[in-house]
Structure 1
Amino acid sequence: MPERQDEKKEEPMAQTGAGRSSWLGRSWRRIALVLLALLLAPYVLILLYAPGFVHPVSTLMLRDVVLRGGYERQWMPFETISPHLVRSVMMSEDGQFCAHNGVDWVQMRGVVQDALDGEATRGASTISMQTVKNLFLWNGRFFVRKALELPLALAADFVWSKRRVMEVYLNIAEWGPGIYGAEAAARHHFGVSAANLSRRQAALLAVALPNPFDRNPGKPGRGLKRLASLIERRAGASGDYITCLYP
């Protein structure tokens, strides 16, 4: 009789262990599904953001809603943005924008080789890559972010026209704390619309993009002025590089 009682006591313990294992299995499956949904969501949004009447909001804007209580941005269609700014941003950020498919593989191979050789790596982000990073990801130099960024840039460049990529980029780029997009930047720094930017003003805005918190296009230092002069010259000679935007 005692032996039978011991056997009965062991059964609930075994059932409890099996129940815990089953619960853990369900939890991991839920976590895996959530992660999969987060990975796939940007690709769905790329499709939804394709029409011109859609004005996407970036993760950085959402961050400012939480931390600052809001942000400044007025959407400008591509056709209404000064060509001086379009040319300046392209020649400053991604001179091969019209030639690649979202990723500049030549530049990317150079970065990988530098990393393998133990040398300091240079930036190789295209405008497409910066657009998807700003829309869906986060700032900072992280391998995981870069691994997510590459396929998203290829997808955006495949689904969107080059004009749409540039339009989205120029409307979500950060030009200072809480200042997003060309229109808000032009009005904040120069008191004019993005449609009326001069060549000099456009060049100053373009060279401020890599570090908009430290570089003030409205009050440029000597170094920023020199960079702007260089980009102004390049933008003036950008005709062969910018045919995908201005045929």
Structure 2
Amino acid sequence: MNPQRPANTFRNQSSQQPRPKVSHPVTQRLQKTGRKATQWQKIRQYIRQRPTLERAYWLVLKVFLWLFISSVSYVIVLKYVPVWVTPLIVSRWVDTFGTDESSHVYKNWRPYDKISKEVALAVVASEDQDFPKHWGFDFDEIQDAIKDNRTRKRPRGASTISQQVAKNVFLWNGRSYLRKGLEVYFTVLIELIWGKERILEVYLNVAEMGPMTFGAEAASQRYYDHSAASMTRNEAARIAAVLPNPRLFSIAKPSSYIQRRTRQISRQMRYLGGQKYIRSL
């Protein structure tokens, strides 16, 4: 009779003991070095311990990267390709549905060197005199606008030409914080990628200058019966005068306010030094 084997007491004891809790590798490294986990490391550890949350985190990160790469690529493409359609043009076209207003869009793209420099100087004198100097934002003008808007019934804008281009080409109308944030983002992109001359070229081709009329060439052909290349200083100043509200003010039938504003812009163009002010863009 074989003697009965003694039970493996070590195995029985080890099976009864609870398994040691395995901490996350990040936590193990911190414990070895004696450092405390930062807030960001705690968040990462919290996410990794929850598979569903981790999948959502990576999905959001991939979407964000895709949007970033797509937006940068689109801005690069538009540095070389004419901008034929903008959200504002589509919005104005849709607004004509069910109304007596004509849905015909007046728009003709012209390169920067085919547009009179008087037009370029006029919009700079009217809309953004520090355009050649700033990097997309005029902070002094923004501060002045904030102070003035505390007492004004109608809010005063402080958008630079760069900001207006970013809004017109890439974004929708509105005053939400999301749209404002995206406007800042696209303004930085076009300042870095396009440069001043391209920004001004796009502005002169997409800015609303009358009912369903976009760009200097379309406005010149419609209201002056000639190309934007031969536009005079007075004609350019009158176009710039209506830019704050081209659907209310008329180039063809300028009010006394527009006539006065035209003279003011013409004087500002002279004070800036004429076309040489924008020659170095």
1:127 shift after superposition:
0.3
Q: Percent identity?
A: 34
Question: What SS is found at the alignment partner of 1:168?
Answer: helix
Q: Match for residue 154 of structure 1?
A: 188
1:138 shift after superposition:
2.2
The aligned runs of 1:72-87 (5 Å cut-off) are 72-87=106-121
Q: Match for residue 43 of structure 1?
A: 72
1:146 shift after superposition:
2.0
Q: Match for residue 55 of structure 1?
A: 82
> What count of residue pairs does the alignment treat as equivalent?
222
The aligned runs of 1:199-238 (5 Å cut-off) are 199-238=233-272
- TM-score, normalised to structure 1, is 0.77
1:174 shift after superposition:
0.8
Q: Tell me if the contact between 2:121 and 2:275 (Cα under 8 Å) persists in the aligned partners.
A: no
Instruction: Please say if 1:105 is aligned against 2:139.
Output: yes
2:210 to 176, 186, 190: 176
Q: Which runs of 5+ in 2 are unaligned?
A: 1-50, 97-102
1:50-87 residue CA offsets vs partner (Å, 9 max, x unmatched): 12xx1112111233455556522111111111111111
The whole-number CA distance in structure 2 between the counterparts of 1:220 and 1:244 is: 27
Q: Tell me if the contact between 1:98 and 1:242 (Cα under 8 Å) persists in the aligned partners.
A: no
Q: Check 1:211–1:129 CA distance in 2 against 1; reply closer, same or farther (3 A cut).
A: same
RMSD of Structure 2 on Structure 1 (CA):
3.0
Higher relative contact order (CA 8 A, sep 6+): 1
Q: Tell me if the contact between 2:86 and 2:169 (Cα under 8 Å) persists in the aligned partners.
A: yes
Q: Check 1:133–1:242 CA distance in 2 against 1; reply closer, same or farther (3 A cut).
A: farther
1:214-235 residue CA offsets vs partner (Å, 9 max, x unmatched): 1101110111100000001111
1:177-236 residue CA offsets vs partner (Å, 9 max, x unmatched): 221111101111111211111111111100111100011011101111000000011112
Q: Tell me if the contact between 1:95 and 1:241 (Cα under 8 Å) persists in the aligned partners.
A: no
- TM-score, normalised to structure 2, is 0.69
Q: Which runs of 5+ in 1 are unaligned?
A: 1-21
1:157 shift after superposition:
1.1
